[in-house]
């Protein structure tokens, strides 16, 4: 029996010695495999561009449509949001299907931006001057206008890069192009004219006020606020057009004079201010002038009270 036991022990020893090389190889292979694993070189995420959204208060202004704005609104109500969670990324995608994540500003530092304004008809030319922040659009003569607004970075700063990211895969980032996203704003018209002019001796049939050579015509200017109430102490401007005779021929000799201001060209301005009752009178003369019709136009300057 002891012989049989010895045989069993010898057999077990042989089996163990035969298995040890396999164990050693398996352990070695497991250790070596970690040295050969590397990052998969895939494709970067892409997007057409990114833009900074514009808000009126907490209301997002859709750049794809015309946004209606009350004439009593003020530019200070509008803002641009540079938060990465609010940025508008156009057509983000990853060819390998990795998950697009929230973009990131370089060094986690967003740029300083401000809103700029232009007329919708001339979007590449900024309004000069820019609208005053704490005055209504109507009070600044912008009621009834179509404007555009967009975020403009501070030119004095170094613009941080904006990265498009994915939450899976590698590579996981690319640089985004920041585009101007302009929003269109339709400012509601005012309730009536902010300024009106009447002339003594105005003739409806001829559409003009007449006087003899050496005589004068009195203009009455009335200024109103944005809801049609008469308001005083408002500055205004009067300018002339080309003088035409009955045949429609321009004759600008002997320029028309408003008060003491001679309107020598169509660019010359007469500047006045209404009194506390919202009224101003202006005397129009034309010494030795030819028989011509002189057209004058007016526009408000300054701001309407209470708006």
Give Cα 218 to chain centroid, integer Å: 43
Tell me, what's the pLDDT at 37? Answer: 42
- Give tens-digit pLDDT for 251-304: 777 778 899 999 888 888 999 999 999 999 999 988 766 544 455 555 555 433
For 27, counting Cβ atoms within 10 Å of its Cβ (0-12 exposed, 13-18 middle, 19+ buried), the class is exposed
Which is higher by pLDDT, 239 or 296? Answer: 239
- Give tens-digit pLDDT for 164-198: 999 998 888 999 999 999 999 999 998 888 888 99
Tell me, what's the pLDDT at 305? Answer: 32
Per-domain residue ranges of the chain: 49-187, 195-300
- Give tens-digit pLDDT for 89-123: 999 999 888 999 999 999 999 999 999 999 999 99
Residue among 158, 150, 178, 151 at smallest CA distance from 109: 158
The token pair at 50 is 């990114």
CA dist., res. 281 & res. 297, Å (int): 15
CA dist., res. 237 & res. 274, Å (int): 11
Q: Residues 215, 288: contact at Cβ < 8 Å? A: no
Give yes or no for residue 25 having a pLDDT over 50.
Answer: no
Pairing state between β 78-80 and 113-119: unpaired
Q: Residues 204, 232: contact at Cβ < 8 Å? A: no
Average pLDDT over residues 28-38: 45
Angle at 206 between CA 202 and CA 209, to 5 degrees: 25
Q: Name the class of domain 195-300.
A: mainly beta
Tell me the pTM: 0.66
- At residue 54, the 3 state secondary structure works out as strand
């Amino acid at each position: 029996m002891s012989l049989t036991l010895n045989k069993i022990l010898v057999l077990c020893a042989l089996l163990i010695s035969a298995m040890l090389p396999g164990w050693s190889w398996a352990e070695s292979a497991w250790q070596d495999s970690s040295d050969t694993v590397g990052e998969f070189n895939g494709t970067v995420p892409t997007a057409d561009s990114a833009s900074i959204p514009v808000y009126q208060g907490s209301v997002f202004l859709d750049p794809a449509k015309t946004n209606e704005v009350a004439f009593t609104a003020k530019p200070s109500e509008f803002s641009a949001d540079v938060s990465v969670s609010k940025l508008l990324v156009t057509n983000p995608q990853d060819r390998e299907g990795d998950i697009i994540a929230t973009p990131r500003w370089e060094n986690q530092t967003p740029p300083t931006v401000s809103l700029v304004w232009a007329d919708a008809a001339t979007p590449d030319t900024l309004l000069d001057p820019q609208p005053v922040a704490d005055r209504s659009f109507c009070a600044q003569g912008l009621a009834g206008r179509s404007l555009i607004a967009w975020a403009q970075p501070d030119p004095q700063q170094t613009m941080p890069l904006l990265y498009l990211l994915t939450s899976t895969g590698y590579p996981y980032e690319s640089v985004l192009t920041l585009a101007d996203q302009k929003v269109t704003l339709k400012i509601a018209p005012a309730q009536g004219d902010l300024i009106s002019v009447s002339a003594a001796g105005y003739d409806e049939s001829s559409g003009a006020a007449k006087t003899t050579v050496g005589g004068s015509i009195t203009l009455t200017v009335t200024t109103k606020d944005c809801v049609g109430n008469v308001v005083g102490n408002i500055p205004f401007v009067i300018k002339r057009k080309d003088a035409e005779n009955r045949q429609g021929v321009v004759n600008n000799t002997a320029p028309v004079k408003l008060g003491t201001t001679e309107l020598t060209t169509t660019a010359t301005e007469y500047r006045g201010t209404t009194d506390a009752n919202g009224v101003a009178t202006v005397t129009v003369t034309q010494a030795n002038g030819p028989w011509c019709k002189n057209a004058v136009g007016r526009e408000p300057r300054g701001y309407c009270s209470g708006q």
